[in-house]
Structure 1
Amino acid sequence: MVAGGHPASAPDVALSVRDLTVSLPVGMERLNAIEGVSFNLNRGQILCVIGESGSGKSMTASTIMGLLPRGMETSAGSITLEGREIVGMEAEELRSLRGRVVSMIFQDPLSALNPLMTVGAQIEEAMAAHGEGTAQSRRTRTVELLTEVGLPDPAMMYHQYPFRLSGGQRQRVMIAMALSLEPTILIADEPTTALDVTTQAQILTLIRDIQRRKGMSVMFITHDFGVVAEIADSVVVMEKGHVVERGEAAKVLKAPDHPYTKRLIAAVPHLRAEDRPREATASAAAEPLLKVRNLVKTYRSGSRLFRTERVVPAVQDVSFEVRPGHTLGVVGESGSGKSSLGRLLNRLMDVDSGKILFDGRDIAPLPESEFRSMRPKIQMIFQDPFASLNPRMTVGQILTVGPKAHGMSGSKAREEAMELLNLVGLDVRAFDRYPHEFSGGQRQRVGVARALMFKPQLLIADEAVSALDVSIQAQILELLDRIQRETGVAMIFITHDLRVASQICDEIAVMHKGRIVEFGRPSQIFFNPEADYTRQLVAAIPGERFDDKTTVPTQADTGT
C-alpha cells in the first residue's frame, strides 16, 4: 500500500481516521502539524504509531481526543469513533465519550496529574464524573487498579501526592486512571518512556493482557521499535506530519519499504560489547573531581503519632568517585534512588549524612548562600523537561537568564544560546517560542542546552534522553560525548535504559533500593554481571529481544 493512499476498509473498525489535517498557527516551521493522515484501528488489536519527535504522533492522538491546544484546529478530514463522527461534535457530547469509550495515557505524567490532589482522589474523580459506582466502590476499584499496575503498597499509595512519586510511578498512576472506566479504545502516548526496563516489560504485558482479556483496541504511540516488536499487530510510521508507511507489524519490522522507516530501525540502540576507550577520556591518574562518601537520604511521610508514618530509604551508604572527562552511569529501576542521588549531588535536597567532596571541598554542609556561587559548576539536565521549564518564559529567556544573572552580557548570552540550539538540533526560531509549543523530545533538548550554557565542570544528566526518539537520542549522546572530549567535563548519567548507558559511560553503578549493588566497567556489568538484580535488568532489555525477531537494516541498506 502506498504511503499516501487510504487503508483498506475493514468491517470491524473501532477507530477510522481519514485525510486528517490539523493546521498550525502562522509563523511555525510548517503549515500543518499533520496532513492527510489516514489509518484504521481494528477492534481488539494494537496499532503502534511510530516516528521521531515532532512527527505528529501526539498531535494525532490529541485531535482524536478533542484536546487540541488553542490556535490549532482540524482543517480537513474525518475521525470515526465506534461508528460516530467526532470532528465537529459538540464539546459536551465529546466529553461523555472520554474515559468511557476512549481514554488516553498522556506522555508527561507530572503535568497531567493535579499536584493538589492525591493519586487516589484523581483516579476516583474520573469515575465520579461519569456517575460510576458509590464512594466506597470507587475507592475499592482505585486500590485494585493501583495494585494491577504494580505500584508498591497500594493502600498507602492511594493517599500520596504526585510529587512524592518517581517518574515511573507517576506514569503507572496515569495508566490506572486511563483504565478506570474500562474504555473500548485506549490511546497510549509514550506510556513506557519514563519506565525502567523491567517495569516497561511489566506495563507492556499489562496493556497487552488487558487488551486481549477485554477485547480493547489500543493505539500505542512510541519512538522505540523494540516496543513495537513486543506488542504491535500493525504499524503506522509518521514523518513530519505525514504517514510514510503502514502495514502489519511483522512486515514493517522485517522488510520496511520507506527509507525513513529503515533509518529508524537502524538507529535502535544495542548493548556495546567493548568498553569506551580510556584514551578518549581524561587520564585515569587524574585526581577525582567528585568524591561521594557514605551518602544517606531517607524520606519520611505521615505521622508517627497516628502510626501512619512511612519511611523510604532513598539513598543508603552510597560511595563513588568521578574523574574529569569520565562518565559514571547510574542505572536501576524506578524508585531505586537514582534521581534522588542526582538531586543530592546538585544540592537540591539536603543529605542526612555523608560527604560530597567537589573539587576537594565538602559541599554537603554548605548553606545555600555559600553554595550559590558554585552552582554554575554543577549543572543538571532534569528528567521531566516540561516541569523544569518555566512556562511563562520563552526558550531564549530560559537559556539566558541564568548566565546573565552570573554576569554574562545579554548579547553574549544570546549568541551562545543560538549556537547551543543548533547543536541540540533545534531551529534558531525556537529562541522566541514557549515550552508548550514543543513536543516532549524537543523540550528535553532545551533542557540539555540550558545545562550547557554554564560550561559546567560536572554535568548530572537525569534521564536526559529518555523522552527522545532513537535518532535524536543518538545525536544527543554524540553531542554530550563530543562536549566531554573538548571540555573535560565530568558526567553522571542517570538512566533506566541500559542500552544507552553502554554507549556513553566509562563505569556503571547499579542501584537497587537505595544501594549500589554492583559497580564496574560496562562490558562486565552487561555481559558478565555478578548480582542477580543486574542479570534481571539485562534480561528485560526490549532492544535486545528485538534482534531475535527482526532483521535490522545495515547502514548500507538505509543509505546512511
Structure 2
Amino acid sequence: MAASDAEAGIEADRTAALAVRDLTVTLPKGMDRPYAVERVSFDLVPGQILCIIGESGSGKSVTANAVMGLLPPALRVVSGTIRCAGTDLVNAPAPTLRSLRGRVVSMIFQDPLSALNPLMTVGDQITEVMMAHGEGNPARRRARALELLAEVGLPDPPLMYQQYPFRLSGGQRQRVMIAMALALEPGILIADEPTTALDVTTQAQILRLIRDIQKRKGMSVMFITHDFGVVAEIADSVIVMEKGLIVEQGSAQAVLQAPRHPYTRRLIAAVPKLTGKDRSPPAAGAGPVLKVENLAKIYRTGSALFGRQRVVKAVQEASFELAPGRTLGVVGESGSGKSSLGRLLIKLMDSDGGRILFRGRDIAPLKESEFRPLRPKIQMIFQDPFASLNPRSTIGHILTVGPVSHGMPYRQARQEARRLLENVGLDAGAFSRYPHEFSGGQRQRIGIARALMFKPELLIADEAVSALDVSIQAQILMLLDRIQRETGVSMIFITHDLRVASQICDEIVVMQRGRIVERGPPSQIFLNPRSDYTRELVAAIPGGQQDMAGAA
C-alpha cells in the first residue's frame, strides 16, 4: 500500500463509526471451507444504515459477532482489525468490551428465545442492561423499561413487564430484544435479522422505530437481513457476502437497481413475488385428512383471587378442512393465534373446546399414551430452530432418535437422515456436527429434515422458511412442493409472509385475535379480499401492490 493510501485508510478509520479491515475468522477443521469470513473490509458511516446481505452461512452473523466480541470458542479471529470509539475490538480486554456493549455498540440477536433468559421477566432483563452500566435508580429504570415496551409496540406494558419470555409470541420476543438493545440508545446498533420473525405490519413498525431513533441520535446501524424489501426501504449502503467474502458493495440504489455480480443478481431474482393464482383443484371424492370444528384455546395468567387474572382467547371457534395432498395457509399478525393453532393440532397442548378429526378420529380428547402411536403421522417444523434442537446431541442423533424409537433399524435411519440432509441443502458432514455449528437458516433446514424422517401424512410447518434467505427459501418451498407431490402429504403452512403463502398454498385462512376472519383461495385473498384486516395485511407488503398489478 502506498503512503497516501495508508494515510487515507487511517483517516477513514478515524471518521467511520466502525471500521473493519481485513477481518479473517477461521472455521474448525473439517468444515466446507477454511474461513467463516476472509479479508472483509468496510466502513460504517456515522448516521447511516449499512445492510449486509447474503445466504445463510455467508458470514453475515459471524461478522456481527466478531464486532461484539461474541464469537464461539470454535471460531477465532486470525487477522484484521475492528476499530470503534478509538479502540481495536479484536485485541481489547474483556472489561473494555463489556463497557462498550450496550452503551456504545448494541446488538439485536437473530434468535430471541435463546438470547432471552427464561428465568427472568421481561422487565428485569431490560432494566438489567441499564443496571450493568450504572444508569439511574430502580424507579427510573422501570419507567424507562415501560417506555421502551410501549415504543416497540407491545400491548399493556405494565403487564408485559412482568411476563416471562415463554409466554410471548415469536414476534413479541423479538420486540423485547429490540427494547433491550435500545435501552441505552447506543451510537452503533447491530441488527441481526431483527424483523425475520415479524409479520408485515409489525415489521413496518419496527423499521420505522429503528429509523426514527437512528435519525434522532445520528445512530449508525449495521443491518443484517435476507429481505430485499427491507433493504430497499431503509439501506443507505449495501454489502453482499458469499461464502465469507464480500462480492459486491455500494449504495443501495446501485446494488439493487444495477447489480454487477452474478451472485447478487441471483439473490434478487429469488425474491418471492406475490401472486393471486389458484392451484389445481383437489381430487373429487377424497375425504379430508383433517377436519377442525369450533376449536378453542384460552390462556389465563395471574391470579383470579386478587382480581389480576388476564384471559387471552388465543383460538376462538376455528373451523376448516384439509384435503389429502393439499396445503392450507394460516396467515396473520404476531399474536393472532397462528402458532397456538398449530400446537393444538399436534397436541403439544390441550384444547379447551372443539374437535380435531384426523382421518375421521377425534384426537382432541386423547391422552398422551393414546396419541403417541399417531405422532409419526403428524409432524411439525417449529418456528424456532435453535430452541427445538438439543444442543448436546449431534445432528445425526437428532434425526435418527425418533424413528429408531418407533422401530426403524438404525442403519436405515442413518441412510434416510443423510439423504434428507442432502435434499435440504446440507453436506454429509452435517451428520456428525452439533446445532451451534450452524447458522439460523441451516438449523431450520435440519428441523425440516427431522420432520420428514417419519414420512408423515400431515405436516404442520410453523414459519418453516421465515429464518431463511430468499434463495434457500425458494429451494425449501420447491422441496416441500416436490415432497408433497411424491408422498401426498397434507400441509398446514403457518406464515407471516403473504408472498410465500401465495406461492405454496391451495387455500388460505386469515387469523386475527384468535378468530378466522377470512378463508378462501389465493385469488380471493390477494386480489379481492373481503375483510378489512386482510386488505390491511396485503397493503403492508413491501412492493406487494406492484406484484398484484402484474398478477391482475
TM-score, normalised via structure 1 length? 0.95
Kept after mapping to 2: 8 A contact 1:14/1:83: no
Shift of 1:82: 2.5
Q: Secondary structure of 1:465's partner?
A: coil
1:541 and 1:105 mapped to 2: Cα distance? 23
CA distance in 1, matches of 2:284, 2:463: 26
| Cα shift at 1:39 | 0.6
| Number of the residue aligned with 2:39 | 36
Query: Where do residues 469-484 of structure 1 align in structure 2 (5 Å cutoff)?
Result: 469-484=469-484
User: What are the within-5 Å matches in structure 2 for residues 357-436 of structure 1?
Assistant: 357-436=357-436
Contact 1:269–1:543 (CA under 8 A) maintained in structure 2: no
1:298-317 correspondence to structure 2 within 5 Å: 298-317=298-317
* Matched letter for residue 230 of structure 1: E
CA distance in 2, matches of 1:39, 1:23: 19
For residues 51-71 of structure 1, what are the alpha-carbon distances to aligned partners after superposition, in whole Å with 9 as ceiling and x for unaligned?
Answer: 000000000000000001012
SS class of match (2:31): coil
* Aligned equivalents of 2:439, 2:430: Cα separation in 1: 12
- Does 1:121 pair with 2:124? yes
For 1:513-528, list aligned pairs within 5 A: 513-528=513-528
Alignment of 1:272-311 (within 5 A): 272-278=275-281, 282-311=282-311
Structure 1, unaligned runs of 5 or more: 549-560
Secondary structure of the corresponding residue to residue 542 of structure 1: coil
Distance 1:91 1:547, change over 3 A: farther
List structure 1 runs of 4+ shifted beyond 4 angstroms.
5-11, 545-548
Deviation, structure 1 residue 25: 1.4
1:175-324 matches, cutoff 5 A: 175-278=178-281, 282-324=282-324
1:154 partner amino acid = P
Instruction: Say yes or no: does 1:496 pair with 2:492.
Output: no
Contact 2:58-2:245 within 8 A present in 1 as well: yes
Asked whether the equivalents of residues 328 and 509 of structure 1 are also in contact (C-alpha less than 8 Å), the reply is yes
The 2-side partners of 1:59 and 1:362 are apart by 47
CA positional deviation for 1:547 = 7.0
Q: Please tell me the residue identity of whatever aligns with 1:196.
A: D
Could you tell me which of 146, 169, 176 is aligned with 1:173? 176
Amino acid at match of 2:48: Q
Q: Secondary structure at the match of 2:455?
A: coil
For residues 115 and 306 of structure 1, what CA distance do their matches in structure 2 show?
A: 25
**SS of the residue 1:456 aligns to:** coil
CA distance in 2, matches of 1:546, 1:18: 40
Q: CA deviation at 1:285?
A: 2.8
- Give distance in 1, aligned partners of 2:435 and 2:285: 42
Query: C-alpha distance in 1, partners of 2:224/2:26?
Result: 21
Structure-2 residue corresponding to 1:80: 83
Q: Which amino acid aligns with 1:419?
A: R
> Aligned AA for 1:297?
K
SS of the equivalent of 2:25 reads strand
Q: Give the structure 1 partner of residue 460 of structure 2.
A: 460
Aligned equivalents of 2:536, 2:74: Cα separation in 1: 47
Residue 27 of structure 1, CA deviation: 1.5
Distance 1:363 1:243 in 2: 52
Distance 1:359 1:17, change over 3 A: same
Aligned residues of 1:33 and 1:59 also touching (Cα < 8 A)? yes
What whole-Å deviation, never above 9, does each CA across 1:326-350 have from its counterpart, x for those lacking one? Answer: 0000000000000000000000000
* Gap change, CA 1:437 and 1:366, over 3 Å in 2: same
Letter in 2 for 1:98: R
Distance 1:410 1:401 in 2: 9
Contact 1:111–1:386 (CA under 8 A) maintained in structure 2: yes
Measured after TM superposition, the shift of residue 29 of structure 1 is 1.3
The amino acid across from 1:516 in the alignment is: I
SS of the aligned residue for 2:307 comes to coil
CA contact (8 A) 2:273 2:547 kept: no
Decide which moves more: 71-80 or 319-328: 71-80
Q: Which residue of 2 aligns with 1:329?
A: 329
How many residue pairs get matched?
541
Q: Counterparts of 1:31 and 1:225 in 2: how far apart (Å)?
A: 29
Contact 1:380 1:462 in 2 (8 A): yes
Shift of residue 205 of structure 1?
0.8
* Residues 1:14 and 2:17 aligned together: yes
Corresponding residue SS for 2:351: coil
**Worse-superposed segment, 76-85 or 488-497:** 76-85
Instruction: Tell me the distance in 2 between the aligned counterparts of 1:34 and 1:514.
Output: 44
Q: 1:285 to 1:503 in 2, by over 3 A?
A: same
Deviations 1:73-126 (A, max 9, x none): 110011111332211110111110000000000000000000000000000001
| Aligned-partner Cα distance in 1 for 2:276–2:321 | 24
Q: Which amino acid aligns with 1:224?
A: D
Mapped to 2, the partners of 1:531 and 1:545 lie a distance apart of 17
Q: Distance in 2 between matches of 1:270 and 1:284?
A: 30
How far residue 488 of structure 1 moved from its aligned partner, in angstroms, is: 0.8
- Are residue 23 (structure 1) and residue 26 (structure 2) matched? yes
Structure 1 residue 143 corresponds to structure 2 residue 146 = yes
Q: What letter matches 2:249 in structure 1?
A: R
Aligned to 1:442: 442
Q: Contact between 2:24 and 2:39, CA under 8 Å: does it hold in 1?
A: yes
Secondary structure at 2:135 match in 1: coil
In structure 1, what residue type is equivalent to 2:388? S
**Mapped partners of 1:307, 1:169: distance in 2:** 25
The SS at the match of 2:17 is strand
Specify the SS of the correspondent of 1:459. strand
* TM-score, with structure 2 as normaliser: 0.96
Verify the 8 A CA contact 2:55 2:242 in the aligned structure 1.
yes
The equivalent of 2:509 in structure 1 is: 509
In structure 2, the residue matched to 1:558 is none
CA RMSD of aligned residues (A): 1.4
For residues 263 and 546 of structure 1, what CA distance do their matches in structure 2 show?
A: 20
Q: Structure 1 residue 24: deviation in Å?
A: 1.0
How far does the alpha carbon of each residue in 1:179-218 deviate from its partner, in whole angstroms, 9 at most, with x for none?
0011000000000000001000110111011100111000
Cα separation, 1, equivalents of 2:523 and 2:85 = 51
Q: Judge which range, 467-476 or 537-546, deviates more.
A: 537-546
CA shift at 1:504, angstroms? 0.4
Structure 1 residue 12, shift from structure 2 partner: 3.1
User: In 1, are the aligned partners of 2:327 and 2:505 still within 8 Å (CA)?
Assistant: yes
8 A Cα contact 1:168 1:194, kept in partner: yes
Cα distance, 1:543 vs structure 2? 4.3
Task: Check conservation: 1:229, 1:546, Cα contact below 8 A.
Answer: no
Residue 103 of structure 2 corresponds to which residue in structure 1?
Answer: 100
Whole-Å Cα distance in 1 between the matches of residues 130 and 103 of structure 2?
9
Determine the structure 1 residue equivalent to 2:158.
155
Q: Cα gap change, 1:205/1:94 in structure 2, threshold over 3 Å: closer, same or farther?
A: same
Match of 1:551 in 2: none
Q: Is 1:131 matched with 2:127?
A: no
Amino acid at match of 2:200: V
> Counterpart of 2:167?
164
Measured against aligned partners, the alpha-carbon deviations of 1:102-157 in whole angstroms (never above 9, x if no partner) come to 00000000000000000000000010000000000000000000000000101100
